[in-house]
A and B are shown apart, each in its own frame.
Chain A
Amino acid sequence: MPDWLPVAASTYAKDIDGLIWLITAIVGVWFVIAEVVLFYLIFRYRRRAGVKPEYVDGSRKKQIAWILVPCAAILACDLVIDAASARVWDEMKLTNPKPHMTVRVDGRQWAWDLTNPGPDRVLDTSDDITLLNELHVPAGEVVRFELRSRDTLHSLWVPELRLKQDAVPGRTFRGWFEATRPGEYGILCAELCGVAHGVMKGTLIVHESSGYENWLRSAQAQAPAAAAPAPATAPATAPATVPATAPAGGSVAR
């Protein structure tokens, strides 16, 4: 079987994958049973000369049981799925592991402003590093994120982390992830946000922890003052100026 899902690069990715396969297996069994029975009956009871149909209206207790007993089994499967699903959900959304640092993700038409707290690991201080469409985090550490939008809805979507969360203007959403696998991953937008929605992309760079420290140092050295944080006070100024034909590559607004 080919790799159906992208690599799993966060702690909860494997739980979500496990859940997806569990559900697929359960519903797959029911699907196969239903199709096999359907096609068997179609074949077995096709019209043949001299064979009379029988009057069966499914109103007797025994006949009703043919339907309701399998449906009770489906109910049981549903509850298993619900329980498994709730367990994964709770782990992702209702627990609050202690973070190594907090980053800020601001979506706007059509780019991500991504703020790393810098060496002091505290946001909104002078050593913050704000980059366009680029976020650096260490592997093996819990990273909290604050997700906001400056204009329309966007959705932070990192397939390899199995992380998706809408950004809603007027709200700050707080969540977390722990990347497990160093590498570069696409940050996509999964919510229609206007003409260049399809090319609103960033990159998440997950470092080994030493690599992360190196990156921090070099970023600091390169642009000590470039940390001028994109202020959250600039709501929605970009749009009207964007050409109707979005360029085919790269990010659009800057």
Chain B
Amino acid sequence: MNPVAEAPAIRRPAPPAPAAHGGDDAHGGHHEPESFWRRYVFSTDHKMIAKQYLFTGVFMALVGGFLAQLMRVQLASPGAEIPGMGAMHAGQYNTYVTMHGTTMIFWVAMPLLLGAFGNFLIPLMIGAKDMAFPRLNMLSYWTFALSTVVLLGSFFVPGGASPVGWTAYPPLSANPQYSGNVWGVHLWILAVALEMVAFLMGGINYITTAINLRAPGMRMKDLPLILWMQIVASVIFLFSAGPLVAGAVMLLLDRTAGTGFYNPAAGGDPLLFQHLFWFFGHPEVYVLLLPGLGIVAEILPVFSRKPVFGYKMILWSTIATGLLSFVVWAHHQFVSGIDPRLAAPFSLTTILISVPVAVTLFSFIATLWKGSIEFTTAMLFALGMIAVFLIGGVTGILNGSAAADIYIHDTYFVVAHFHYALIPPVFFGFFAGIYYWYPKMFGRMMNETLGKLHFWGTTIFVNVTFLPMFVMGLRGYPRRVYDPTQFSSLGDMTLMQILATVGTAGLLLSQVPLLINFFGSLRWGKVAGPNPWRANTLEWAAPSPPPHGNFAAQPSVYRWPYEYSAPGRAEDWHPQHLPSGAAAEGSRS
């Protein structure tokens, strides 16, 4: 009747004695009290590094959001005086677009989803004491911190920050004469290169750790899905980053050393950069999507008290998505002048990605079937992620069709589409993860009322902001333009512009409850106890927050992570580390 519930205990060998792993001497034996610097700044503890990524990412999200708000004010009332800044001019707008996009992708999404959750969860969820290479991990964060300083510093150099778009297409980016900007673009390239290096070090660490440091008895197929998604995302990143870094180096050489990789007059080709950029850039969106989906995959079972539906299907579709993402890049170039015969194959691969992504989403939806759904804030954001991401997913098919893309490429339709594809994993996923793992990170519960306020505000205003952009895009409004009054021939879009701007303000204001909740709960939150959600995965076997070294005793793993409501058990959860027959210790405190 129920093969899954008991079988693992039978086929699993007696766990070996805890191996002496953990990778770093710092974790052997007892711990000396650490100095402030060792503990909070140059820490090798994955949890502290996760928090460093978390706080840096949140800070940069505020920067990126502020830039978005500036652009939105300009678009709704062109030429308006912004208090303290005066009226915006075209060059500034281009800088804000560029820095907003760059910041959100590289300095918000990456540090929050991979830097913070990857670092925090990977060792804890596999029962390890730390990452495989704790010092490399520290170097990764500090390289990232340096890149952040370089990026922010570029605002203050003569000429200001880069105005050439987050895609940095040459010749505009390669030739200061065309962009009117020397130092901003130099520093942009440097910052992006450093950031990539930081996450390459991180990725190597994630993959090695998840594969090598698993607790005794933990097979790859006992890994929580979020770890699979982090692994696949890291692998995608490792394989795609090389071409971009190479492209960026050539760009820097074109700018500084007089080479002509992208200069047609010197025998180069501007399209080369586009290929290198999107060979990285498209897989990159899956690098961001997968960890977001992973967070949802952990939360749905816990708050519907049911196993995740179709673990293996989700796993294989994740891998298929990752592989396919390497052969779709030219869909960004349908109108760029590539050979028109390439359109059909790239259209095909692009649109086919809908199949594995649908497998994952449908499996998530099916997880709810016959569940018992509790609407915690974490669960609301996880469900919201699915509901909102569907909009981004289906509109992608329009972009994927080469012929339809001729019309919508580089219009606001694309802007709306990619925000609907990125905000669910990056913001909804991140928020869901914060509400869910905050008790583990900080030992206290967050406030649910503030959380729900945050959820509804965010969800409503995301749509108020971005739905109007689809309408503008279908009218033909091009993106990256600072003065929409230029396009009166396309119809009056004032209402849409104002809606989108009001939506953005609402969206930013909706983050206030989160900030209050986050910092207030550090102090006033209810003490969480080790396992407040009655969840199965290993991080909940550690104290909250886990001490340096994580677990009091090395846990062993006896089953897969999604054993909820198994028939014949008194409790409706069955932690991975509990031998069969033992009752779960600790319940909702």
Contacts and interface: CB of A to CB of B under 8 A. Distances in A.
Contacts of B311: 57-59
A166 B167 CA distance: 15
A192 B362 contact: no
Contacts of B164: 192
Interface in B363-421: 363, 365-375, 383, 386-387, 390-391, 394-395, 397-398, 401-404, 406-411
A93 to B, nearest CB: 4
Given A57-B4, A94-B341, A194 B564 contact: no
Contact of A168 (B89, B270, B401): B270
A45 B371 contact: yes
B512 to A, nearest CB: 27
B240 to A, nearest CB: 23
A152 B486 CA distance: 21
B309 interface: yes
B309 A63 contact: yes
A224 interface: no
B237 to A, nearest CB: 26
B391 A31 contact: yes
Given A16-B407, A19-B401, A198-B480, A170 B178 contact: no
Contacts of A67: 309-310, 313, 359, 362-363, 366
B573 to A, nearest CB: 11
Contact of B179 (A47, A194, A245): A194
Contacts of A19: 401, 403-404
A168 B476 CA distance: 22
A89 B358 contact: no
A30 B394 contact: yes
A123 interface: no
Contacts of B454: none
Nearest to A245: B89
A20 B398 contact: yes
B172 A152 contact: yes
Nearest to A160: B476
Given A55-B5, A89-B403, A6 B475 contact: yes
A89 B409 contact: no
B307 interface: yes
Interface of B is mostly: helix
Interface stretch (A124-132, A133-141, A207-215, A232-240): A232-240
B250 interface: no
Given A27-B397, A42-B383, A159 B476 contact: yes
Given A45-B369, A56-B309, A85-B403, A195 B478 contact: no
A242 to B, nearest CB: 8
Nearest to A199: B486
B94 to A, nearest CB: 7
B314 to A, nearest CB: 9
Contacts of A235: 265
B374 A164 contact: no
A244 B383 contact: no
B374 A47 contact: yes
B335 A165 contact: yes
B16 interface: no
B372 A198 contact: no
B565 A109 contact: no
A99 to B, nearest CB: 17
Contacts of A191: 169, 410
A164 B411 CA distance: 11
A190 interface: yes
A232 to B, nearest CB: 13
Given A35-B390, A188-B487, A244-B180, A55 B480 contact: no
A171 interface: yes
A46 interface: yes
Contacts, number: 312
Contact of A56 (B307, B372, B394): B307
Contact of B343 (A93, A155, A189): A93
Contact of B398 (A24, A68, A153, A155): A24
A82 B348 contact: yes
A17 to B, nearest CB: 8
B90 to A, nearest CB: 4
Nearest to A27: B394
Interface string B338-353: 0011011001100110
Interface string B299-322: 000001111111111000000000
A37 B171 CA distance: 48
A89 B2 contact: no
Contacts of A4: 471, 474-475
Interface residues of A, number: 97
Contact of B366 (A15, A51, A58): A58
Interface in B459-483: 471, 474-476, 478, 480-483
A42 B380 CA distance: 10
Nearest to B352: A78
B264 A169 contact: yes
A28 interface: yes
B474 A192 contact: no
Contact of B372 (A51, A157, A249): A51
Contacts of B491: 3, 6
A155 B406 CA distance: 11
A55 B567 contact: yes
Nearest to A28: B394
Contact of B478 (A23, A53, A190): A190
B394 A31 contact: yes
A54 B368 contact: no
Contacts of A48: 372
A171 B264 contact: yes
Contacts of A163: 406
A231 to B, nearest CB: 16
B565 A54 contact: yes
B35 to A, nearest CB: 48
Given A78-B352, A169-B270, A34 B340 contact: no
Given A52-B565, A55-B565, A5 B355 contact: no
13 contacts: A19-B401, A20-B407, A45-B369, A81-B351, A89-B344, A152-B175, A162-B407, A194-B178, A194-B180, A196-B90, A197-B480, A198-B90, A242-B180
Given A74-B358, A194-B172, 12 more contacts: A23-B398, A24-B398, A27-B394, A35-B390, A68-B359, A89-B344, A89-B347, A152-B178, A169-B264, A170-B269, A236-B175, A236-B177
The 6 closest A-B pairs by CB, nearest first: A170-B264, A159-B476, A198-B481, A58-B310, A58-B309, A88-B403
Interface of A: 3-6, 15-16, 19-20, 23-24, 26-28, 30-31, 34-35, 37-39, 41-42, 45-48, 51-59, 63-64, 66-68, 70-71, 74-75, 78, 81-82, 84-86, 88-89, 92-94, 109, 151-153, 155, 157, 159, 162-166, 168-171, 173, 185-186, 188-199, 201, 235-236, 239-240, 242, 244-246, 248-249
